[in-house]
A and B are shown apart, each in its own frame.
Chain A
């Protein structure tokens, strides 16, 4: 299956809100509510920040929220902070036990 499509980069000023899109097709995002989002700082391991489209794991800031419409999942970061500068990846279940990832989005805090 093809990778999910994410914008290469998104930027915002401190305090602003930004949204990262993750576009796929009916076969993964459209069919299943099994989308996760990961945050990866340089030199670190990816950390899950959203599970099952919109669920925040324990300990993850409420400033992170997820949603889905049709074949596109979205991650919104509200009240942008310097520490949010990182790479973000989406991942969806794609049927037959498989997963598909997005290409990643670099978030820059201006």
Chain B
């Protein structure tokens, strides 16, 4: 099981960008795929994209294509998710989730980062 710690809650204005980090304690993390998932209360989770262990292969959900950027720094065992052109509807909890097997849904979820978009 990979333990990760996500960055703290953010409040952003519409049109701004937010960058959420996800740092793991050990280098086992570097063998895991990371999916970013966001969750709005009362709705189902929404898949945003995946970054592979090497940080080379990245796939974004069509809904977020053009607005989201996922990066990975294996030297610091940290993954980042940046979402730009924020809208009120982007208010949600953003989760860093990990899995060691390609194709399988996540096995472990980080604690989540609340992003609030408010003027």
Contact = CB atoms under 8 A, between A and B. Distances in A.
Contacts, number: 65
Contacts of A6: 44
B104 A103 contact: no
Nearest to B93: A45
Contact of B112 (A4, A45, A98): A45
Contacts of B50: 97-99
Interface in A43-66: 45-48, 51-52, 57
B82 interface: no
Contact of B103 (A3, A34, A46, A47): A34
Contacts of B95: 45-46
Contact of B45 (A35, A46, A47, A51): A46
Interface in A1-56: 3-4, 6, 32, 34-36, 45-48, 51-52
A101 to B, nearest CB: 4
Interface of B: 35, 37, 43-47, 50, 57, 59, 61, 95, 103-112
Interface of A: 3-4, 6, 32, 34-36, 45-48, 51-52, 57, 89, 91-93, 96-104
14 contacts: A4-B44, A36-B106, A46-B109, A47-B109, A48-B107, A51-B105, A51-B107, A52-B104, A91-B45, A91-B105, A93-B104, A98-B59, A99-B37, A101-B45
